[in-house]
Amino acid sequence: MRLVVVGNGMAGARLVSEVRARDRHVKITVFGAEAWQPYNRVLLSNVVAGTSRPDQVRLLGPRWHAEHNVTAHLGVEVTAIDRDARTVVAADGTREPYDVLVLATGSEPVIPAIPGVERATAFRTLDDCDRIREAAASARSAVVIGGGLLGIEAARGLAGRGVPVTLLHVRDHLMERQLDAEAGLILRETLGSLGVAIRTGVTVTAVRERHVELAGEELVDADLVVVACGVRPVVGLARDAGLEVERGVVVDDELRTDDPSIFAVGECAQHAGRVYGLVAPAWEQASVLADLLTGADKGARYRGSRLVTRLKAKSVELAAMGETHLTDEEAEIVRFSHRHKGTYRKLVIRDGRLVGAILLGETSAVGTLTQLFDRGGPLPGDRTGLLFPGVGAAATADNPTRMPDSARVCQCNNVTKGQIRACWESGARDVEAVAAATRATTGCGGCRDAVEGIVGWLCEQEGVSA
3-state secondary structure of 359: strand
Domain with CATH 1.10.10.1100 in the chain: 397-466
Residue among 297, 301, 240, 241 at smallest CA distance from 272: 301
pLDDT 10s digits, 346-386: 999 999 999 999 999 977 788 788 888 988 888 888 888 88
Q: Are the C-beta atoms of residues 186 and 198 closer than 8 Å to each other?
A: no
Q: 448-462 and 417-425 helices cross at what angle (nearest 10)?
A: 50
Strands (E) located in 150-288: 165-169, 196-200, 204-207, 211-214, 219-221, 224-227, 231-233, 249-251, 262-264, 269-271, 274-275
Q: What percent of the chain clears pLDDT 70, i.e. is strictly above it?
A: 96
In order of 152, 344, 368, the CA distances from 155 in angstroms are 5, 21, 30
What confidence tens digit (pLDDT) does each residue in 184-203 have?
A: 999 999 999 999 999 999 99
Domain with CATH 3.30.390.30 in the chain: 317-391
Supply the pTM of this predicted model.
Answer: 0.87
CATH 1.10.3720.10 given to domain 397-466 = no
Q: Following CA atoms 127, 129, 135, 141 in sequence, which dihedral angle do they give, to the nearest 10 degrees?
A: 150
Superfamily of domain 2-108+232-294 in CATH is: FAD/NAD(P)-binding domain (3.50.50.60)
Stretch(es) of the chain classified as CATH 3.50.50.60: 2-108+232-294, 117-229
Closest among 24, 26, 52, 28 to 40, alpha carbons compared: 52
- Out of 3.40.640.10, 3.30.390.30, 3.40.50.2000, 3.40.190.10, the CATH code matching 317-391 is 3.30.390.30
Higher pLDDT, 422 or 312: 422
Rg of the chain (C-alpha set): 23
Which pLDDT tens digit goes with each residue over 137-169? 999 999 999 999 999 999 999 999 999 999 999
Q: From 407, 403, 414, 405, select the one nearest 443 (Cα to Cα).
A: 414
Q: Which CATH architecture has domain 117-229?
A: 3-Layer(bba) Sandwich (3.50)
